[in-house]
Amino acid sequence: QKEVEQNSGPLSVPEGAIASLNCTYSDRVSQSFFWYRQYSGKSPELIMSIYSNGDKEDGRFTAQLNKASQYVSLLIRDSQPSDSATYLCAVKDDYKLSFGAGTTVTVRA
């Protein structure tokens, strides 16, 4: 089974700060990478996808991918209390998504 590892957390950041989440994966042939946000008791919601090396920005979110290092990260700028959730890293090869265990982020007001 492909392995996807995330920094264990929980991660506590003050409001307005940058939250940095990291993810490494074991399968070099993985082609697509996704970040999902999951609020407590709810289902995962897609927030970012990235396929090529480098940075991809969408609003306050930036995903970074380095395939040589098998590493993908998510930055949340200007963190808000509404960003408090668990963030799941998912790695896709063909049809299958493999998920990390998630990093729980708490934004302190």
Partner 1 sequence: DGGITQSPKYLFRKEGQNVTLSCEQNLNHDAMYWYRQDPGQGLRLIYYSQIVNDFQKGDIAEGYSVSREKKESFPLTVTSAQKNPTAFYLCASSTGNRVHQPQHFGDGTRLSIL
Instruction: Summarize as ranges the residues that interact with partner 1 (CB under 8 A).
Output: 1, 4, 31-32, 34, 42-46, 49, 51, 88, 92-97, 99-102
Q: Which is nearer to partner 1, 43 or 109 (CB)?
A: 43
The single-letter code of the amino acid at 79 is S
Q: Which is nearer to partner 1, 83 or 102 (CB)?
A: 102
Q: Which is nearer to partner 1, 17 or 92 (CB)?
A: 92
